[in-house]
Amino acid sequence: MLWSSKRSIVLALPVSLAVAGCGADPGTSGSGGGEQTVLVTDGLRSFTCIQTSSGRAENRQQVTGQLDADSTPLNVQVFRGRTLRLEHSSATPTPVPNYLGGYYERAGLFAWSLGSEGTNDYYLLLPLGGVNGSTFGGQLQLFFNHGTYGVWQKVLSCTVN
């Protein structure tokens, strides 16, 4: 039996196949006849980023999402204000090599386009070379009217859950 959802796969194998297929001695295959459920994880890690740069409470932002095994962000959500209202989301951000946006330090960070909300463009900057460990720094950059009306560059402190 094979069951699959969006990000999980559950395999139900006969006990003899599950034990024998896992590197056990052939003589320890057990008495067979039943089924064993084996959960195969998808390798996604959840992350949460909190704005640490200064700003008015109603404009402070938080970012959540997932990272795959290569640290590619997925299912990113941007929230704003005291109530953390959802402001923007992107299921599959796009990498932006040679990104030159923003107006202060971004060394060691790689940009991902989160797309646009109307004429406002969102970028998430994550560590160059991937996210290793349980904490990391990043940035959220928001270009108003594609940058014509200015840019918010938010410094983020992030944790992997």
Assess whether 63 and 30 both reside in one domain: no
Assess whether 55 and 28 both reside in one domain: no
> Dihedrals φ, ψ of 145, to 5°?
50, 50
Confidence at residue 102, expressed as pLDDT on a 0 to 100 scale: 72
> Dihedrals φ, ψ of 20, to 5°?
-65, -35
The CA distances from residue 75 to 12, 20, 78, 82, 116, in Å, are 29, 38, 10, 22, 15
Assess whether 58 and 123 both reside in one domain: yes
Confidence at residue 120, expressed as pLDDT on a 0 to 100 scale: 97
Assess whether 22 and 49 both reside in one domain: no
Cα–Cα dist 13/5, whole Å: 18
Confidence at residue 42, expressed as pLDDT on a 0 to 100 scale: 76
Torsion of CA 103, 109, 113, 117, to 10 degrees: -50
Assess whether 50 and 21 both reside in one domain: no
Per-residue pLDDT of the chain (161 residues; tens, 9 = 90+): 333 334 433 333 343 333 344 444 444 444 445 544 433 357 899 999 999 999 899 999 999 999 999 999 999 999 999 999 999 999 999 999 989 887 666 789 999 999 999 999 999 999 999 999 999 999 999 999 999 999 999 999 999 99
Assess whether 130 and 81 both reside in one domain: yes
Tally of structural domains, the chain? 2
- Please, which residues have CB within 8 angstroms of residue 132's CB and are 6 or more apart in sequence? none
Assess whether 50 and 84 both reside in one domain: yes
Which range of residues forms the domain containing residue 12?
2-40
Cα–Cα dist 14/1, whole Å: 10
